Amino acid sequence: MTTLDRYLLREALGHYFLGLGAIVLLFLAGAVYEVLAPLVAKGADPYTLLLYLLYRTPEALVRGSPVAYLFALLLLLSRMAEDSELKALLALGIRRERVLLPLLALGGVLALLGFALGESLVPRSLAAGQDLLRRQVLERPRTLLTPGASFQDAKGRVVYVGEVSGDRIGKLRILSREEVVLAEEGRFGGGVLRVERGLRITYEGDRPRTVTRFQRGELVLKDLTFEPWQNPANRMTLRELRQEVERLRQAGVKAGLEATTYHRRFAEPAASLIFALFAVGLAFYLLGGSRSLGLVGVAVLTFFYYATWSVGRIMGEQNALNPLLAAWGPNLVYGLLGLLLFLGGRR
């Protein structure tokens, strides 16, 4: 490894980690706003919330890595252009390809690492985060209940809550087609609702069949929490995604969400390689006219990728765009632009 390679890699990694840290914080802040804030307001345990954020961190790292690398390269090469370092390299006979090579290699390493984490750690951590929230709500569901609220038990029966007072809920009505259960009091514990002092009425058609009084009973609860991610496919492995796509297509159902997620597993990590070509090509192209990208330009180009990535993802998941194009479209745009800029830049 030459001195130039070490210099470029050191500077690129410094900017990369800085950008990645900022993106991860923004991502987790969004999770707090969308998912955790309602739970905090209703009394969720702080330790549980912190642990949930840790479970979401791998996803934030994998999603943020390509964007952080684009930001790092644009910022680094823009600074090198302003300081005339790129011109000095050209004057010494160092070609653009020599600058691209180490950055391309680093992009390849980041792509492989992102793909490996996206296929292994991320699905498991997302599933563990959801299980954590489910356990939190099942163990302390009263924090989410108010008088007049309703939920379902594991048998599909609807439970109406009449009173809420601390650990106790009361005036319960449990309804289904076959029976009606009235209970004076209920308490939660370990995913079970224990009811006390009640009346159970079973029906045959429209007529009551039996009327029974009881002192205690138990209802196994169904998940009371909300779905914290709009895309459950993020918690699947590639093999599971492929099987799900095939199953849905055989059933005649459009699998835009699952297919787009499947292709994005490859496209998102590969973006790091594309960004190396784009950033180097843009830097040397602007160098020919003695222009500098500047911090504003770096931010705009980084945001533009994120915007196109988000729009493509939504359109693919909603079956408004071919999943393959939705996943690879932003990479294709930046790759073609990077190739044209690289070929037309100053040599």
Q: What is the pLDDT of residues 207-257, one digit of tens each?
A: 778 888 888 888 877 655 444 555 677 888 889 888 888 888 887 778 888
Low-confidence residues in the chain, pLDDT < 50: 225-227
Predicted pLDDT of residue 292: 64
The pLDDT of residue 257? 86
The long-range contacts involving 117-124, CB below 8 angstroms and separated by at least 24 positions, are 117/58, 117/61, 117/62, 118/62, 118/265, 118/268, 118/269, 119/237, 119/238, 119/265, 121/58, 122/58, 122/59, 122/62, 122/234, 123/234, 123/235, 123/236, 123/237
Residue in 118, 116, 117, 127 with CA at minimum distance from that of residue 235: 127
pTM for the whole structure: 0.74
| pLDDT reported for residue 224 | 54
Q: Quick one: how far is CA 39 from the chain centroid?
A: 19
Q: What is the pLDDT of residue 322?
A: 92
Question: What pLDDT, on a 0 to 100 scale, did the predictor assign at position 72?
Answer: 94
